[in-house]
Amino acid sequence: MDEANLIAALRSIVGEGSVDVGASINPDDLHDESLHPPVPVATCVVRPTSHEQVAAIAAACSSAGVPMVARGSGTGLSGAAVPLDGAVVISFSSMRRILEIDLANHVAVVEPGVTLAELDEALRGTGLRYPVHPGERSGSLGGNVATNAGGMRAVRDGVTRHHVLGLRVVLADGTSLDLGGRFVKSSTGYDLVQLLVGSEGTLALVTQVTVKLSVRLPEQVTLLAPFATLDEVSAAIPELVVTGVDPAILEYIDFLTMAGITSAAGLDLAIPPSVADAALAYLVVVLESTSAERLDEDAAAVAEHLSRLGAIDVYSLRERTGVDLIAARERAFYVAKANGATDIIDVVVPRAQVAPYLARVAEIAARHQTFITGCGHAGDGNVHLSVFEADEAARRALLLELFEAGIELGGAISGEHGIGVAKLDAYRALTDPARLALEERLKFAFDPQGLLNPGRSSRGTTP
Amino acid sequence: MDEANLIAALRSIVGEGSVDVGASINPDDLHDESLHPPVPVATCVVRPTSHEQVAAIAAACSSAGVPMVARGSGTGLSGAAVPLDGAVVISFSSMRRILEIDLANHVAVVEPGVTLAELDEALRGTGLRYPVHPGERSGSLGGNVATNAGGMRAVRDGVTRHHVLGLRVVLADGTSLDLGGRFVKSSTGYDLVQLLVGSEGTLALVTQVTVKLSVRLPEQVTLLAPFATLDEVSAAIPELVVTGVDPAILEYIDFLTMAGITSAAGLDLAIPPSVADAALAYLVVVLESTSAERLDEDAAAVAEHLSRLGAIDVYSLRERTGVDLIAARERAFYVAKANGATDIIDVVVPRAQVAPYLARVAEIAARHQTFITGCGHAGDGNVHLSVFEADEAARRALLLELFEAGIELGGAISGEHGIGVAKLDAYRALTDPARLALEERLKFAFDPQGLLNPGRSSRGTTP
């Protein structure tokens, strides 16, 4: 089947108006939010409206030997949804139905184009929520599944994979599979759901997602604790966790990032200048509870712990200010981007290694005469760094050193952004060849023609 | 390499005394707790003491083309550790070191032969625990990983896979891989750790397990609520969960099972005869908290909810009695076995389907003129049934119907016991052939010679 025939076939599947070709392609359908996207020439963008259409599209592309790239809402940070030249982009923007909110089983069943904001809205008034909270609420559930999105609530609530119970998928050749279900435990065959979460569209096309919901606790408070050093923040984390208070969010923010995000958000935290001058790092603790009384008790206990653990002071932020600070923190990526950051990476290390890792980062930055700022998920060791290095060769060498330092401390290249195209070279350079070979064999087991997101992900080579 | 040469090679790896052959094989090394074990003739039982020895054993067996079966402490219920004829049994009974309790990162690193009881003992006084709580504390961590063991705490704390952060493994050909690490989130390559958990020894040999620990809450109470019908128990679950009280355990026990386990344990729950006569099902709720005051509040709130939801009464069990009831419930399997149960199965269904499923079970039992009793994890839909049917053909037909009824209600064959050899025929008969084919390709990606636990698991055929 040549390209013209393939496009005709796709049009017969989804309808004339749902296939964009050539100049009719919206350029926004060809990139995500990553900072160094390739500029691809896609064959077309196709917008299916059902599982059956996705299966027919995959079968047609498979017959034609043409690669396919799934696309959610394009909020990814590693270029996993950026197609390679000649690929068919399968956009899930027309599959955004919330199929069911199942209150008896506490699950939601959604199409992959549904955004986190839409799901959250649909859950209003039920007492339930989908707790995974990556920075961007316009991200789609399908995209969250592809990257195993994390976010600030991972310390208590886990990441995407801990909430995905079932997937309906299409393999590269058009085969349909229903995997998992509305249950949290199973020991029945290989757990293919877990294998697919985080596979960046390289193994299957997801057409339906069943997620576990959790209880929305009514009371919330945000505590802000400035510390003189990041070492103290890092040392405080396990002490705080073992008390059993179970914070919903535990973030550290360095003083430069704090200045950047509060200024960008026009947010005044009313921290006295003498404290701000002495603080090199901030710890943000969000607590939730079933009652205002318990929340107050917990907040008092945490404040006492933090003071004992070296906090210069502890501020209980008024409700609005606390929400605004978390929102400002979520925008850190965009603030860094606007300020000219050339890379935003998210190495994960064992949480007790955050301070040693940042010491290594400072040493690397000094040696490269480069500027690096940061914030991150202190509770789970996921360090977000904004890197400012314009020179391309220097930039690549620098990133490789930053990743390598994380791996040496027992970590991994990415906690939640994924490998995509942005970190593919680094992933291949720094990963055990025996593991890479095994991943290639797994990829082959799912997609022997190598058509799903080839050469634009952590696995698979350009056909 | 012939058998004599292979045994000589294995002896040179682990030492003369750590290879049992022929009559020197302890029969207990060839079975687990499943009720219909095949009686195998193994080539030998070998007891390595290190990762390096396991790698050398795998390389030797791979060269000889001889199958391998990993063995923990033999507490499995589905025969996954029962070798097929001619296999080398790799017993992890000599790999039971607790390598590290890492208090800063809240993880433990153990060898696969370490038992749950041993790990629990090592954590005493740390304020932490490994919360996965399958019925049998002599089960090994390696075996728990192989079957993705669950247990009564899954409703709040999840199952084995939610706690395994890293694995050191050996592939069938002797290749070593270090997977995952001391972090809860990663988006760096396929999640091979999650794929291996629950794979019943068919993909790799696990030589080291890194698990996440959680906080041990100091206060605990057990509530027991008799209900007139199981429908009411089932309907009460989502209502209870949505309150935010977050019970550690939510078990239902039918009146026959309750009589059996309390009598076997010599336990008097002091339930008035009039209540016991009216109760067809019991709900057991275990609550935990950071303080006695909060525990009392929560217990009062739960008791009020349960009364409103139809409980005949709610008993707060004294500390010892509560612990004893949970222990008695854990022995349900052995009580059923001692009473002549021919099968003990653990279908999982969406938790709102527990009552409809049990109605189907009653209908099937009546039609087959068979006796079936049950209890289970009401919070997560994992239904444990004891089946009494001596006739072999009738037994197989009955099991197939019980599994099929669960699948039709949106469930799966096993919540935590696994497929092993006991349910392999049923798994193959009731699973989408496209999924089975994909599982075979995955198996091939890991183990192209088909040497790891072949023909004695959910995947792979006898070589």
Task: Output the six-digit token pair for B263.
Answer: 């009598």
Residue B461 confidence class, pLDDT cut points 50, 70, 90: very low
Separation of alpha carbons B140 and B421, rounded Å: 19
Instruction: Write the residue in B350, B415, B445 that is nearest to A444 by C-beta.
Output: B445
Residue A140 DSSP label: B
Separation of alpha carbons B108 and B129, rounded Å: 10
Task: Output the six-digit token pair for B441.
Answer: 């390709």
Q: Is B100 helix (H, G, I), strand (E, B) or coil?
A: strand
Parallel, antiparallel or unpaired: strands B205-212 and A214-215 = unpaired
Minimal C-alpha gap between B437 and chain A (Å): 10
pLDDT score recorded for residue A456: 59
Which one of B144, B163, B185 would you mutate to disrupt binding with A, by most A Cβ within 10 Å of its Cβ? Answer: B185
Distance from the Cα of residue A379 to its chain's centroid: 16
Task: Output the six-digit token pair for B94.
Answer: 């000599």
Which one of A126, A168, A188 would you mutate to disrupt binding with B, by most B Cβ within 10 Å of its Cβ? Answer: A188
Q: Are the C-beta atoms of residues A288 and A217 closer than 8 Å to each other?
A: yes
Does B433 contact chain A (CB < 8 Å)? no
Of B37, B36, B7, B9, the residue nearest B24 (C-alpha): B7
Show Cβ contacts of residue B140 under 8 Å, excluding neighbours closer than 6 positions.
Answer: B72, B73, B75, B92, B96, B112, B113, B114, B115, B116
Task: Output the six-digit token pair for A124.
Answer: 């209003």
pLDDT score recorded for residue A150: 93
Considering B52-56, B246-250, B340-344, the range whose residues carry the highest mean pLDDT is B52-56
**pLDDT one-digit tens code per residue, A116-147:** 999 999 999 999 999 998 988 999 999 999 99
* Beta strand ranges found along B42-138 (DSSP E): 44-46, 68-71, 88-91, 98-102, 107-110, 128-129
Task: Output the six-digit token pair for B423.
Answer: 């349910």
**pLDDT one-digit tens code per residue, A332-347:** 888 888 888 999 999 9
CB contact under 8 A, B238 and A427: no
**pLDDT one-digit tens code per residue, A418-462:** 999 899 999 999 999 999 999 999 999 999 999 999 875 445 543
Amino acid at B351: R
pLDDT score recorded for residue A462: 39
Parallel, antiparallel or unpaired: strands B68-71 and B88-91 = parallel
Does B410 contact chain A (CB < 8 Å)? yes
Q: Is B203 helix (H, G, I), strand (E, B) or coil?
A: coil
Residues 359-398 of A with CB under 8 A from B: 377, 380-382
pLDDT score recorded for residue B459: 52
Q: Give Cα separations from A61 to A55, A69, A378, A445, B356 (angstroms).
A: 10, 11, 44, 18, 43
Residue with tokens 């314009």: A390
CB contact under 8 A, A442 and B242: no
Of B139, B121, B119, the residue nearest B212 (C-alpha): B119
Instruction: Write the residue in B102, B243, B415 that is nearest to A185 by C-beta.
Output: B415
Instruction: Write the residue in B103, B192, B444 that is nearest to A445 by C-beta.
Output: B444
CB contact under 8 A, B242 and A186: no
Instruction: Write the residue in A195, A217, A417 that is nearest to B195 by C-beta.
Output: A195
Does B415 contact chain A (CB < 8 Å)? yes
Does A446 contact chain B (CB < 8 Å)? yes
CB contact under 8 A, A159 and B185: yes
Separation of alpha carbons A274 and A288, rounded Å: 30
**pLDDT one-digit tens code per residue, A303-319:** 999 999 999 999 999 88
Minimal C-alpha gap between A23 and chain B (Å): 34
B-chain residues within 8 Å CB-CB of A414? 186-188
Amino acid at B389: E
B-chain residues within 8 Å CB-CB of A413? 188
**pLDDT one-digit tens code per residue, B66-113:** 999 999 999 999 988 888 889 999 999 999 999 999 999 999 999 999
Q: Is A419 helix (H, G, I), strand (E, B) or coil?
A: coil
Q: Is A101 helix (H, G, I), strand (E, B) or coil?
A: strand
Instruction: Write the residue in B175, B184, B380 that is nearest to A185 by C-beta.
Output: B380
Amino acid at A266: G
CB contact under 8 A, B161 and A194: yes
Minimal C-alpha gap between A238 and chain B (Å): 6
Amino acid at B50: S
Show Cβ contacts of residue B396 under 8 Å, excluding neighbours closer than 6 positions.
Answer: B425
Minimal C-alpha gap between A182 and chain B (Å): 5
pLDDT score recorded for residue B462: 39
CB contact under 8 A, B189 and A127: no
CB contact under 8 A, A171 and B427: no
CB contact under 8 A, B188 and A382: no
CB contact under 8 A, B434 and A177: yes
Q: What percent of chain B has pLDDT over 70?
A: 98
**pLDDT one-digit tens code per residue, B109-123:** 999 999 999 999 999
Which one of B123, B173, B188 would you mutate to disrupt binding with A, by most A Cβ within 10 Å of its Cβ? Answer: B188
Instruction: Write the residue in A187, A192, A445 that is nearest to B147 by C-beta.
Output: A187
Task: Output the six-digit token pair for B404.
Answer: 């099929």
Separation of alpha carbons B183 and A354, rounded Å: 11
Separation of alpha carbons A142 and A158, rounded Å: 17
Q: Give Cα separations from B402 to A152, B428, B430 (angstroms).
A: 43, 15, 11
CB contact under 8 A, B215 and A243: yes
Q: Give Cα separations from A369 to A339, A344, A365, B36, B428 (angstroms).
A: 18, 17, 6, 69, 61
Amino acid at B90: I
pLDDT score recorded for residue B76: 92
> Count of alpha carbons within 13 Å of A106, Cβ hemisphere only?
27
Residues 313-352 of A with CB under 8 A from B: 348-352
Does A128 contact chain B (CB < 8 Å)? yes
Does A103 contact chain B (CB < 8 Å)? yes
CB contact under 8 A, A350 and B182: yes
Separation of alpha carbons A356 and A230, rounded Å: 10
Residue A463 confidence class, pLDDT cut points 50, 70, 90: very low
CA angle (A214 as vertex; A210, A216 as ends), nearest 5: 135
Minimal C-alpha gap between B352 and chain A (Å): 6
Residue with tokens 């789970």: A380
The verdict on ipTM greater than 0.85 is yes
Does A190 contact chain B (CB < 8 Å)? yes
Residue B435 confidence class, pLDDT cut points 50, 70, 90: very high
CB contact under 8 A, B181 and A411: yes
Residues 284-303 of A with CB under 8 A from B: 290, 294
**Mean local confidence (pLDDT), B131-154:** 94
B366: left (phi over 0), alpha (psi -120 to 50) or beta: alpha
Minimal C-alpha gap between B408 and chain A (Å): 11
Separation of alpha carbons B16 and B25, rounded Å: 13
Does A171 contact chain B (CB < 8 Å)? yes
Q: Is B343 helix (H, G, I), strand (E, B) or coil?
A: strand
Residue A159 confidence class, pLDDT cut points 50, 70, 90: very high
CB contact under 8 A, B188 and A243: no
Of A185, A125, A253, the residue nearest B376 (C-alpha): A185
Task: Output the six-digit token pair for B322.
Answer: 């509560």
Separation of alpha carbons B416 and B348, rounded Å: 9
What is the helix (H) or strand (E) element at residue B261, kind and residue range? Answer: helix B255-265
Residue with tokens 């589905």: B78
Separation of alpha carbons B143 and B115, rounded Å: 9
Q: Give Cα separations from B166 to A409, B55, B111, B182 (angstroms).
A: 15, 18, 12, 7
A-chain residues within 8 Å CB-CB of B171? 434, 438
Minimal C-alpha gap between B317 and chain A (Å): 24
Lowest mean pLDDT among A203-207, B280-284, B453-457: B453-457
pLDDT at B458 over 50: no
Does B192 contact chain A (CB < 8 Å)? yes
The DSSP-derived string for B276-331 is HHH-SEEEEEEEEESSHHHHHHHHHHHHHHHHHTT-S--EEE-HHHHHHHHHHHHT
Separation of alpha carbons B179 and B163, rounded Å: 14
Amino acid at A136: E
Separation of alpha carbons A260 and B384, rounded Å: 56
Separation of alpha carbons A410 and A414, rounded Å: 12
**pLDDT one-digit tens code per residue, B223-243:** 999 999 988 998 898 888 888
- Any bridge partners for residue A205, and if so which? A170
Residue with tokens 């070589």: B463
Backbone angles phi, psi at B155, to 5 degrees: -60, -35
Pairs of residues, one from chain A and one from chain B, whose beta carbons lie less than 8 Å apart = 260
Q: Are the C-beta atoms of residues B458 and B424 closer than 8 Å to each other?
A: yes
Does A238 contact chain B (CB < 8 Å)? yes
**Mean local confidence (pLDDT), B327-333:** 87
Q: Are the C-beta atoms of residues B252 and B283 closer than 8 Å to each other?
A: yes
CB contact under 8 A, A189 and B147: no
- Of residues B456 and A187, the one with the higher pLDDT is A187
Three-state SS annotation for A330-344: HCHHHHHHHCCCCEE
First to last CA, chain B: 16
Separation of alpha carbons B423 and B418, rounded Å: 8
Separation of alpha carbons A396 and A398, rounded Å: 5
**Mean local confidence (pLDDT), B394-423:** 95
Residue B316, exposed/middle/buried by CB under 10 A (0-12, 13-18, 19+)?
middle
Average pLDDT score, chain B: 93
pLDDT at A296 over 80: yes
The secondary structure of chain A in percent helix, strand, coil, rounded to multiples of 5, reads 40, 20, 40
pLDDT score recorded for residue B463: 34
CB contact under 8 A, A415 and B352: no
CB contact under 8 A, A458 and B150: no
